C-alpha cells in the first residue's frame, strides 16, 4: 500500500501536520477545493489543499498516512466540528473554535502568506534575472521592474 505525503505547510493551519487530511466537501457540490487554499477538513480542522488529490478507484482502500478522523467522518458521511473554545478571534473578535484566530481570519492571512511565499520561491536566481537599459518610468515589460520618476540610469 502506498503512503501519501501530508498536506502542505501553513502557519495558519490547525490540522495535524504529520498526516494527509480529507476535505469536507458536500457530495452535491461536485467540486474540489482549490489547491493552496486553507480549507476545513473532515476532522474539523483547517489544512492546505495539496496540488495533487488522492486518486483511488471505488472500493479501493485509502493509502496509508491519511488522517483517521477524516476517514471516519468520510465513511460516516458526517462533518466533525472542532471542540469549541472560550476564545475570541484576535483579529475580528468573533467566537472561534480554532484557537487565537477564527477560520475566516486564518484563511485570509493564509492567502496573503501563501502568495508571498509562492512569489519568494518563484524568483529567479541572481544570475538569471533579465536586465534592460530602458529609460521609461513605470513598469518595464522586459525586466518586470518599476522605476519611479527621478530614479536615474537604466534598470
What distance lies between CA 148 and its chain's CA centroid?
34
Q: What is the pLDDT of residue 152?
A: 43
148 and 86 in one domain?
Answer: no
74 and 134 in one domain?
Answer: no
Asked whether residue 107 is assigned to any structural domain, the reply reads yes
135 and 97 in one domain?
Answer: no
Q: What is the pLDDT of residue 135?
A: 52
Alpha-carbon span 113 to 116, nearest angstrom: 5
Residue 148's domain comprises 126-155
State percent of the chain over pLDDT 70. Answer: 67
133 and 78 in one domain?
Answer: no
Q: What is the pTM of this model?
A: 0.70
Rg (CA), the chain: 21
Q: What is the pLDDT of residue 99?
A: 84
51 and 36 in one domain?
Answer: yes
Q: What is the pLDDT of residue 154?
A: 41
Q: What is the pLDDT of residue 148?
A: 47
Tens of pLDDT, residues 61-103: 888 999 999 888 887 766 677 665 668 888 898 888 888 899 9
Asked whether residue 108 is assigned to any structural domain, the reply reads yes
Asked whether residue 1 is assigned to any structural domain, the reply reads no
Strands 46-48 and 38-40: antiparallel
Low-confidence ranges of the chain (pLDDT < 70): 1, 26-29, 77-79, 82-86, 119-155
143 and 106 in one domain?
Answer: no
Q: What is the pLDDT of residue 4?
A: 93
Alpha-carbon span 55 to 66, nearest angstrom: 13
Alpha-carbon span 113 to 8, nearest angstrom: 13
Asked whether residue 3 is assigned to any structural domain, the reply reads no
Enclosing H/E stretch for 68: helix 68-76
Looking at the structure of the chain, the number of domains it has is: 2
134 and 63 in one domain?
Answer: no
DSSP labels, 14-47: -S-TTSBPPB---GGG---PPTT-EEEBTTSSEE
Q: What is the pLDDT of residue 150?
A: 44
143 and 103 in one domain?
Answer: no
111 and 133 in one domain?
Answer: no
Q: What is the pLDDT of residue 155?
A: 35
Asked whether residue 17 is assigned to any structural domain, the reply reads no
Place of cell 491519511: 66
Amino acid at each position: 500500500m502506498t503512503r501519501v505525503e501530508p498536506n502542505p505547510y501553513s502557519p495558519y493551519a490547525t490540522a495535524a501536520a504529520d498526516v494527509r487530511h480529507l476535505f469536507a466537501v458536500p457530495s452535491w457540490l461536485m467540486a474540489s477545493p482549490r489547491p493552496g487554499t486553507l480549507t476545513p477538513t473532515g476532522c474539523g480542522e483547517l489544512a492546505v489543499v495539496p496540488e495533487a488529490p488522492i486518486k483511488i478507484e471505488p472500493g479501493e482502500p485509502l493509502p496509508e498516512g491519511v488522517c483517521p478522523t477524516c476517514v471516519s467522518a468520510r465513511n460516516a458521511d458526517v462533518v466533525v466540528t472542532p471542540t469549541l473554545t472560550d476564545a475570541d478571534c484576535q483579529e475580528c473578535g468573533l467566537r472561534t473554535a480554532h484557537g487565537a484566530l477564527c477560520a475566516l481570519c486564518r484563511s485570509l492571512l493564509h492567502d496573503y502568506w501563501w502568495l508571498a511565499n509562492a512569489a519568494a520561491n518563484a524568483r529567479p536566481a541572481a544570475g538569471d534575472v533579465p536586465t534592460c537599459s530602458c529609460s521609461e518610468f513605470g513598469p518595464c515589460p522586459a525586466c518586470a521592474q518599476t522605476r519611479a520618476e527621478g530614479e536615474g540610469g537604466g534598470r
